[in-house]
A and B are shown apart, each in its own frame.
Chain A
Amino acid sequence: MRLIQGNEACALGALHAGCTYYAGYPITPASEIMEQMARMLPARHGVFVQMEDEIAALAAVIGASWAGAKAMTATSGPGFSLMQENLGYAAMTETPCVVVDSQRMGPSTGLPTLPSQGDVMQARWGSHGDRPGVTLTASSVGQVYEVTVAAFNISERYRVPVVLLLDAVVSHMREGVELPDLPVVTRQAPADPAAFLPFGGTDFMPLGAGKPIVVTGLAHAASGLPRATDGANAARMLQRVVDRIDAAGEEILRTRALALEDAEVGIIAYGISARPARGAVELLRAEGIRAGLLELETIWPLPEQAIRDLAARTRLLLVPEMNLGQLVLAIRATVEGRTPVLALNRVDGQVFPPAEIAAAIRQAVAEVRVPVEPAFREVQHAAHG
C-alpha cells in the first residue's frame, strides 16, 4: 500500500496507460499532475512541455497524438474554458487524447481553489457544435488511478478525446492505495497501411509514417481531404463518431453500486459528492431507511439504462451536486417523470457532509407521497436549508 495524492495517482495512471507526452500550463488544483509528469517523463524518454497557455497545451497534445504519442494535459476551470475550441478540434479529427479538469469553484476566478462540480455541462457541451463528449469522474485516490487508465483506454480504442473531471478535494487528497495492474489499450495500426483511410474507422496511422495524411477541422471525407461544402457528408461523418460512442456500452459506461439491491430511495452521485453519499447511505440504513447509491464514474454519455432501472425500483432519487443543478437535468430527462428526482446543491466550495445528504433524503421520504412537481420544488428548497 502506498500513500499517494489524487493528482499523483492521475500521473501514475497515465504512465501505466502508456502516456508518453504531456503539455500543460500550471493552475491550482491541477498543477501536481504537471509537476509529476515533469519529474517522471524525461527519465522514460517521454516528452514534457510547458506551453504558453492552455490553448497551446491542448494544441500540442493533439499534435503529439498525431505523431503517435499517447498524450494528455491537465487544467482547472479557467484553463478548461480556454481549451474548448481545440477540444472540438480533437473530436472533429477523432484524436485520442486525455484532458483532466480538476474543478474549482467558478465562474471566473471564483473561489481559488475550493472544490466544485461546476464544469459538468462544459465538459459535454463547452465547444461549439455537437460532438461525442466522453467524461469520467472519480471520488477516491484509487479510483483516480483506475479512471485515468480507463480514460486513455477509451480514448485509444474509440479515437475520441476523453475528459476526466476531478476536483480540488480529490486532486489534493491522499489515501493509502494499492495500484492494480490494469489492462492497457493502444490504438490499432491499420491492417493494410496502403489502403488506410484516416477517418474510416478506429485504426490509426501517425503523420510521418510513410503515407501522407491530411488532418483538418473542416468537414472532411474518410480520406481526410476537406469536404467543406458537402452537408450530407458532414452529417454522416459526425453521426459516425457520435454513434461509435453511443454503441460502445459497458466499456465506457462505468458505474458503481452501493446497497442498491433492496433500495427504496436512490442517491445518484459522482466525483467527490459520491463520498458523503456513501456516508449518507450508512447513516440512513442505520435508522431503517433503505437507501442506496448509484455512483457514476462515467457521466457522459450518461449511463441511462442504469438510471432508468434504478428509477423503476425506487420511490425517489436524489442528486447531490456541487453546482446549481447540472447533471440532474439530464437525469430528469432520462427518468421521464417515472420517479421524483430531487436536486441537492451547493456552490460555496464545501463538500456536502454526509448528514446533509441523509437529512435531505429523510425529509423527502417524509414529505414526498404523491409524485407531483410542485411538492418537489418545496422539498428541494427546504433541503437547501
Chain B
Amino acid sequence: MPRMGEELRQYLREELMPGVWCPGCGHGNVLRGVVTALDRLHRKMDQVVCVGGIGCAGRSPFYLNSSAMHTTHGRALAYATGLKTARPDLTVLVTMGDGDAAAIGGNHFIHACRRNIDLTAIVYNNGTYGMTGGQQAPTTPAGMRSTTTPLGSIEPPFDISELARAAGASYVARTTTFDFEELPQYIAEAIAHPGFAVVEVLTQCPTYFGRLNHLGDPATMLDYERDLTFPIEPMTREQVAGQLPVGRFRRDVRPEYTRRYAELCDRAAAAAAAADGATDDEPLPRRDCALPRDPYEVRFSGEGGQGVILAGVLLADAAGSEGRQVVHTQSYGPEARGGACKSEVILSSREIPFPEVEQPDAVICLSPEAMRRYTGLRPGGIRIVEERACLGNTPADGDIVLPLIRTAVEAGGELAVNVVALGALAGITGLVSREALEAALRRRLKPELLPLNQRALAAGWGVGR
C-alpha cells in the first residue's frame, strides 16, 4: 500500500496491516482513494459501515477503522441493503471485486442499481479472480489469459459501468488506479450522492493478471491501465479504438429507496390511525345446539373463481364466533387456478385432532368437474349440487339439486354463488346462525361487496329452506 500521511492513518485499522494484499496490488490504491474521500467529507468513522464480499477486494472492510461486515461471495450488496434499510442514517460503503460484483453477485448488483438505495458500491476491477489464483472473471478482456483461459479468453467481458447505468444506478463513474486524482474525487462524490452510486476502478493484479499476461511490474501495469482507457472529459488524450472510456457517466438525482420507504411508512401509519375507529362486532352467544355429528365435516367444491375458499372461511369464521372449534383447509397449488378446487371445514364442540376432512358430512358441488373429482360422502350426509354442475353428471339419490347460480344472478351477480351456497347449507343444516354469518361477511368482505353478499346470503337461506 502506498505511504499515507498521518492525517489519513486514523481511518485505518493498522493492527491488521500488512494485510493479505500482495506488494504492488492496486487494491491498496483504491483503499487510499476511499480514506481520502472519507477525510474530505469529514465522515465520522463510527457512522460508517464498510461491507465487503469475498475476494481480495472484499477484504477492504478489515483495513478501514469503521464498522465492518465481511460477508459471503457476491452477496455484499444484499447484506448492505439490509443494514441500510434498517439504519438509513449510516454511511454504507460496499467493496467488491469484479467477480464478486458482476459474476456471482451480478443479480444483487443490478437490483441494487434498480432500487436506487443510498449505498456506495466500489468495484475493484482487476480483470481476474485474484483471491482464488487468477481465473477468468466476467471482466477479463477478450484474448487475455487467466488460469482457466490459458489460450486467451473467448468471452466478451462485461462493461460494469455500462451495466450499472442500464440497470438504473443514479451515480456511475469509472476510473483507474493510475488516475490518482479522479479516484478519491469520484469516491467522495459517490458517498455524498443521495442514491445508489457505483465507482468502478480498474486496478492492477500484478500477481496473476499481470504475470499471466506478461504485463510487467506494477508500475508498468499502471501504464497498461492508462493506455487501455481514455477520459471522456477533459479529453486530454486521444482516443484509440477499443479503449475504455473513464470519467463520470451519470449523476442524477432520483427518488432514493429509504426515503421513499419512510414516506410510505408515514402514509401507512396515517391510514392505520384513520381506520382505528372501526369497532369489532359484539360477541355472539355460544351456539350450544348439538351438531348433527361431532365433529362435522363440510366440503365446498367448485372451480377457481367461484369463491369456494371464501365460503369455507366464512363458515369457519361464523362457527368459530359462536364458540365452536373450527379448522379450515384448502386445496392449493396450480390446480387452484381455473381447475377444480375445494375448501373444507371441520366443526366440533371439542379440540379437533386431525385437521383434514376424511369423509364429509356435507358437500357442496358448484361445478361439473368438482362433482366428478371430489367424491365421497358419509352415509347419512347431505350433498347440495348446483343444477349446472349436473351437466354430464348424474346426481345421486338424495342429492339436493338447487339453482344456486341462478339465485346468485337474481341477487345481483354470479360472483356471489359461494355465499348463496353457504346460505343454503346453513339454512338446511342449522350449523351456524344467520347473525353469525352476517357478522362474518362484515368482517371478511370489502364494504362495497357487502350489499350483494348480504342479498345472496338471504336468497341462499331461502332456496335451502
* Chain A contact residues, CB within 8 Å of chain B: 1-3, 20-21, 23, 28-29, 42-45, 47, 49, 51-53, 55-57, 59-69, 71, 85-86, 89, 111-114, 140, 168-169, 172-176, 206-218, 225-226, 275-276, 278-279, 282, 351, 353-354
Contact = CB atoms under 8 A, between A and B. Distances in A.
B240 interface: no
Interface string B342-361: 00000000001111101000
9 contacts: A44-B269, A60-B85, A63-B78, A63-B80, A173-B355, A207-B83, A212-B65, A278-B354, A354-B354
A140 B65 CA distance: 49
B354 A42 contact: no
Interface string B297-335: 000000000000000010011001101111111101110
A32 B326 CA distance: 20
A21 B88 CA distance: 13
Interface string B1-17: 00000000000010110
A43 B271 contact: yes
A89 B71 contact: yes
A64 B92 CA distance: 13
Interface of B: 13, 15-16, 45-47, 49, 51, 61-62, 65-72, 75, 78-87, 89-90, 107-108, 111, 261, 264-265, 267-269, 271-272, 313, 316-317, 320-321, 323-330, 332-334, 352-356, 358
Contacts of A43: 265, 268-269, 271-272
B354 A176 contact: no
A63 B333 contact: no
Given A212-B67, A217-B72, A354-B353, A3 B82 contact: no
Contacts of B68: 212-216
Contacts of B72: 59, 85-86, 89, 217
Q: Which residue among A43, A57, A61, A69 has the maximum number of chain B CB atoms within 10 Å of its CB?
A: A43
Contacts of A69: 86
A86 B13 CA distance: 26
B172 to A, nearest CB: 20
A71 B82 contact: yes
Contacts of A225: 15-16, 62
Counting from the closest, the 3 A-B pairs by CB-CB distance are A63-B82, A60-B82, A176-B320
Nearest to A175: B327
B83 A67 contact: yes
B81 A214 contact: no
Given A175-B328, A208-B67, A212-B66, 20 more contacts: A1-B321, A3-B317, A21-B85, A43-B269, A49-B81, A52-B78, A60-B82, A67-B83, A69-B86, A89-B72, A174-B313, A207-B83, A208-B49, A212-B68, A213-B67, A214-B61, A214-B67, A215-B68, A216-B69, A351-B356
Contacts of A1: 320-321, 323
Q: Which residue among B68, B86, B330, B334 has the maximum number of chain A CB atoms within 10 Å of its CB?
A: B86
A122 to B, nearest CB: 18
Nearest to A277: B353
Q: Which residue among A3, A67, A89 has the maximum number of chain B CB atoms within 10 Å of its CB?
A: A3
Q: Which residue among B13, B51, B79 has the maximum number of chain A CB atoms within 10 Å of its CB?
A: B79
A113 B271 CA distance: 35
A63 B353 contact: no
Contacts of A61: 82
B265 A42 contact: yes
